[in-house]
Structure 1
Amino acid sequence: MTMGLFSRKKNQQVEEIEGLDAEDTDVAEIPEDESTADPADASSDDSSTASTADDAAEGAADAPRGAHLEDGPYDAADAPEEDRIDLGGLLVPTIDGMELRMEVDQRSGAVTGANLVIEGSSLQVQAFAAPKSRGLWEEVRSSLRDSVVKQGGTAETRPGAFGTELITRLPIKRPDGRTGYRPARFIGIDGPRWFLRGILTGKALGDAEQSRRFETLVSRLVVVRGAEAMAPQELIPLHLPGERPGLAQIRSGPLDPLARGPEITEIG
């Protein structure tokens, strides 16, 4: 199931988070005494510490960039030359061993996001239009945190490679009836008239080397905002990539509501 970020309803507030794709996300057990804690207590604790945590994380935004990062993510006007996969609103660098899984809305047929999968971890990326005068990440981060806590999960901010990040855990019921959680790392980057959001799940959450590999990937992405007028928080259109050298496109049969959609797998 795809996690929604923006909704056109309720003044374009953040949607309630329904879940993450189990295939890409590690599910860990929570002891029953923790899983039955009062969500209101979690909300209260989070609210009292959110401002302090955000201030500390924002302070790290001015820290020198890691040596493993390039200068992006780039605006299309500033991107250096590189072989990339054209997804319309996003240009994705080609990386050995990476699978590109496109998310398609089953009702409209519109492409809504891209999942970049490497060695059991997944980075979902989407780009949205933003106002000229301000960024969106602070507002979106706050709304996401409130949504996660409302659903009985936990959410905390921390300094990250691109500034303030949000680390979440959403409770789920396992097939055996026990309670587990699905962790995720939200990365948000404000660009010129666009906002890029990534959700990292899987083994990279606990593996520093894999985590840096995905951070490098984010720093090589290119956002193609275009010159047309768009409402703030409107998804920048994506499309399926065409055939490219070194890529084999895999198409399944009729669309399955539970399927990921078409996949692009790099070979060689």
Structure 2
Amino acid sequence: MGLFDRFKKERPDVTSADADDVPDVTEDVDAPGDADAASADAPAEDDEIVVDPKEAPRDRAEAGPFDVDDAVPERHRLTMGALAVPVLDGMQIRLETEDKTDRVLGVTMVHGKAAMQLQVFAAPRGEGIWKSIREEIADGVRRRRGKADELYTDLGNELVCQVPVRAKDGRTGVRVTRFAGIDGPRWFLRAVFSGTAVTEKESRAELVDLLRGVVVDRGSEAMPPRELIALTPPNITASATAGAEQSDAEPGDADDLNPFERGPEIAEVR
């Protein structure tokens, strides 16, 4: 499952560029039999191979998002396998699931009119991938005649995307989302802010605080870089939530939807 896997059902205020517009990242492969061209393009022995540095808040290990091996401060969190996320009273937790397998591919945290989607991926130990991912997302947005601008914030380099959309009543508008990425040790955590988390400082600050409190447990198994790490549903008790509500939307084809649409499971934290 790749970096831009898509989910079941549409959530209008959690949106982004269509995943079809974001190119897959593959290594260049020399054409069979074209050894001369390959050797001509190959770097000289003295050339240094340049890799992108990891990008994360400078105080990540002390203030989060945390790796499971960091000194993690105590905080009430919901554990979902590779991710343990803090919660707020009245906050909704939506699990983003794959239609055909019901794998949990991400989690969306909704508080009021603000939302933040989290996904975690395998990553190289000594190389950052957020820079190249930002470029890919920006290219996809611009191909849709949208705007994608980098912004340096308390989380590091973020990407602000504006995508033109047409409403059901025929009116046109713009959907705005903000992408943040954290290169951790052998993992990459992506956050997508939408709703008032894009437009209001207080809403954003609440969700950024939750993001900084996340704990990532990548596990020790070998995984290719950029492979999505599936989550597991949290063990939510009746005393901790208002109960799980099933979405009444009809399942759609996951291949036709973008990666910021909600899955079927919703719980409200009390």
- With normalisation by structure 2, the TM-score equals 0.73
Whether 1:174 aligns to 2:167 is: yes
Whether 1:219 aligns to 2:224 is: no
Contact 2:182 2:190 in 1 (8 A): yes
Residue 94 of structure 1 is matched in structure 2 by 87
Q: CA deviation at 1:62?
A: 7.5
Q: Deviations over 1:182-235 (max 9, x none)?
A: 100001010000000000000121111111111111110111101111110011
Contact 1:128 1:234 in 2 (8 A): yes
Q: CA deviation at 1:25?
A: 6.0
Residue 22 of structure 1 is matched in structure 2 by 12
Q: Secondary structure at the match of 2:246?
A: coil
Whether 1:111 aligns to 2:114 is: no
Stretches of structure 2 that go unaligned for 5 or more consecutive residues are 17-52, 253-261
Alignment counterpart, residue 165 of structure 1, candidates 155, 158, 181: 158
Distance 1:123 1:178, change over 3 A: same
Distance 1:107 1:223, change over 3 A: same
- With normalisation by structure 1, the TM-score equals 0.74
Whether 1:73 aligns to 2:65 is: yes
Q: Distance in 2 between matches of 1:157 and 1:20?
A: 26
Amino acid at match of 1:225: R
Q: Which entry has the higher C-alpha Rg, 1 or 2?
A: 2
Contact 1:25 1:121 in 2 (8 A): no
Residue 31 of structure 1 is matched in structure 2 by none
Residue 252 of structure 1 is matched in structure 2 by 246
Contact 1:161 1:215 in 2 (8 A): no
Whether 1:123 aligns to 2:116 is: yes
Q: CA deviation at 1:176?
A: 2.6
Q: CA deviation at 1:253?
A: 7.3
Stretches of structure 1 that go unaligned for 5 or more consecutive residues are 1-6, 27-57
Q: Deviations over 1:164-197 (max 9, x none)?
A: 0000011111223232111000010100000000
Task: Give the CA RMSD over aligned residues.
Answer: 2.9
Identity %: 35
Whether 1:134 aligns to 2:127 is: yes
Q: Distance in 2 between matches of 1:130 and 1:64?
A: 20
Alignment counterpart, residue 184 of structure 1, candidates 163, 168, 177: 177
Amino acid at match of 1:188: G
Q: Distance in 1 between matches of 2:222 and 2:134?
A: 24
Q: Which moved more, 1:236-245 or 1:159-168?
A: 236-245
Contact 1:104 1:110 in 2 (8 A): yes
Q: Deviations over 1:216-264 (max 9, x none)?
A: 1111011110111111001112011113341243142788325631112
Q: Deviations over 1:137-160 (max 9, x none)?
A: 001001110011011111000101
Distance 1:62 1:232, change over 3 A: closer
User: Which has the higher relative contact order, 1 or 2, with Cα contacts under 8 A spaced 6 or more apart?
Assistant: 2
